[in-house]
Structure 1
Amino acid sequence: MDEEAPDLSISGERLFYIIMKAREFDEKVAPGEMDEGSNPSDDNSVSILEDYADDPTLQELQTALDDLNVDAQLDLLALMWFGRGDTDSFAEARVQAADTTDKHIPGYLIGTPQLSDYLEEALSQLGISVTEFGEGHL
């Protein structure tokens, strides 16, 4: 079900950046999920995929989300819910996002598995493509 693209409070460039950082973060392997038979000398530096408190990808994603104003954070939350199929429309998701009492949106978004997939799905349903913003960055 495609609907008319809304005016988002977040730029396409910023949205592209957040999706890329969320994708990088989603692809990481959580500590303890590493293959116990891994050998550091032949694992091709796979430890870089483990999540650590000082993980630069997490820090970059957190900073990008924290730097957004409240309206942009609410737009992202609504996009995630809409892309996940929690609502029938972006407009409905945006109303629900505005009514949320939990204002720790960056942490909630980071803690959502497949965040980048949900954001991309929502944008696809809205007819918005952010790939043009990343053409010079990929």
Structure 2
Amino acid sequence: MLELNPERVCNIIQLAREFHAKEAVVIPEMPNNPGDDWALQVLADHRDDPVYRELKYAIGDMEPDQQAQLLALSWLGREDYALEEWDTALQTAGENLLSSSPEQIIAIPYIADYLEEGLRLHGYDCDA
């Protein structure tokens, strides 16, 4: 069961779409080594971008368990997990959440689409 406020997630989706739509934002595929700090390296060039800062703040202002839910929601939307596996996705997200979780989440390619699909699978719609 989703314990995040869907409106808050929709706001993050909107900010992510706006940020990722910028021409200068290039986020590579996931690295082979999960310890790579590739997300921090890619996003470092954008720290002065007001949309990036707002998006980072919106995610960073969440409690760690909420950030884990956001990460799990993206995995659900990416079809890494089925809705029936939500509890497992949450547990795995909590275990894999980095101290740099806002950057970790922002750096996921197509994050807005994945979050939107994850919300839809939970019965929520940002357009409603």
TM-score (norm 1): 0.70
Residue 29 (structure 1) shift: 0.9
Identity fraction in percent: 37
Larger radius of gyration: 1
Match of 2:98 in 1: 102
Match of 1:118 in 2: 114
| Aligned mate of 1:75, from 69, 80, 91 | 69
* Structure 1: gaps (5+ residues): 1-5, 33-50, 133-138
* Structure 2: gaps (5+ residues): 27-44
Q: Which has the higher helix share?
A: 2
Tell me the matched-pair count: 108
Cα RMSD, aligned residues only: 2.0
Distance 1:14 1:117 in 2: 15
Aligned amino acid, residue 22 of structure 2: K
Aligned amino acid, residue 6 of structure 2: G
The answer on whether the counterparts of 2:68 and 2:97 sit within 8 Å (CA) in structure 1 is: no
Q: Are 1:63 and 2:57 an aligned pair?
A: yes
Instruction: Note closer, same or farther for the CA distance 1:99–1:56 as it changes in structure 2 (3 Å cut).
Output: same
